[in-house]
């Protein structure tokens, strides 16, 4: 029986997901995927032009899931503004063993391209979500800045770079100091009351 196109496409992605976790992106060949799914090369190329296309589709799958959860939290006006900011960021943490292993592999040197794509999605996807929450905070008198989007872009970019274990090596003490500085300067950027954003520390597991 010929499977529906969407079902076949998802089957390829599921297999690729597993193989990328086990062998890494560079260590997985299209032949590995073909053999595991049990399809002809032409069928694979009908759905995806290359292994990179498969990677992009997997990243889209992850990001749609993560950003969808973040947007849902951001829309919940019953949660106070600062708590909502923290909850949005925490919702980006992957759950499930396969997802966690996938993210660990993304951080390996051989998967640098995947890592870069994930970072781009986080910066471009999370920033507008958080900026919307900041705008609410401005209307409530919690923040005072004419640049809600730009402020969050700066903070998200900094956090996504400096607190990425691949880019900056830190001791626990150095990390704690960076977190304190991040919150201190975040409050100043947003025009928030000193100490009002201490809940943000939850994002860093400290």
Look at residue 71 in the predicted model and tell me its pLDDT.
93
pLDDT of residue 105: 58
Give percent of the chain above pLDDT 70: 86
Higher pLDDT, 117 or 188: 188
pLDDT at 206: 66
Q: How far apart are CA 68 and CA 71, in angstroms?
A: 5
pLDDT of residue 95: 46
Give percent of the chain above pLDDT 90.
46
92 vs 104, which has greater pLDDT?
A: 92
Q: Is the per-residue pLDDT at 183 higher than 50? A: yes
Lowest mean pLDDT among 19-23, 143-147, 166-170: 166-170
Helix axes 51-74, 81-91, angle to 10 degrees: 160
What's the pTM value of the predicted model, to 2 decimals? 0.74
pLDDT in tens, 55-70: 889 888 888 887 888 9
Alpha-carbon distances, residue 171 vs 101, 107, 175 (angstroms)? 24, 19, 6
Both tokens of residue 68?
């969808």
CB contact set of 164 (below 8 Å; sequence gap of 6+): 119
Helix pair 97-106, 112-139: axis angle to 10 deg: 110
More confident of the two residues 14 and 108: 14
How high does pLDDT run on average in the chain?
85
């Amino acid at each position: 029986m010929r499977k529906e196109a969407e079902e076949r496409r998802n089957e390829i992605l599921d297999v690729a997901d597993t193989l990328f976790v086990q062998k890494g992106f560079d260590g997985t060949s299209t032949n590995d995927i073909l053999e595991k799914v049990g399809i002809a090369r032409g069928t694979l190329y009908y759905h995806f032009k290359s292994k990179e296309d498969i990677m992009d589709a997997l990243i889209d799958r992850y990001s749609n899931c993560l950003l969808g959860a973040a947007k849902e939290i951001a829309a919940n006006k019953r949660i106070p503004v600062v708590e909502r900011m923290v909850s949005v960021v925490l919702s980006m943490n992957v759950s499930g063993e396969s997802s966690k292993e996938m993210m660990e592999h993304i951080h390996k040197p051989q998967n640098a391209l995947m890592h870069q794509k994930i970072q781009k999605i986080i910066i471009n996807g999370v920033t507008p979500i958080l900026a919307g929450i900041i705008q609410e905070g401005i209307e409530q008198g919690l923040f005072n800045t004419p640049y809600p989007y730009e402020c969050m872009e700066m903070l998200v970019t900094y956090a996504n770079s400096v607190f990425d274990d691949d880019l900056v090596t830190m001791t626990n003490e150095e990390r704690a100091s960076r977190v304190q500085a991040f919150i201190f300067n975040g409050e100043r950027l947003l025009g928030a009351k000193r100490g009002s954003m201490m809940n943000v520390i939850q994002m860093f597991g400290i």
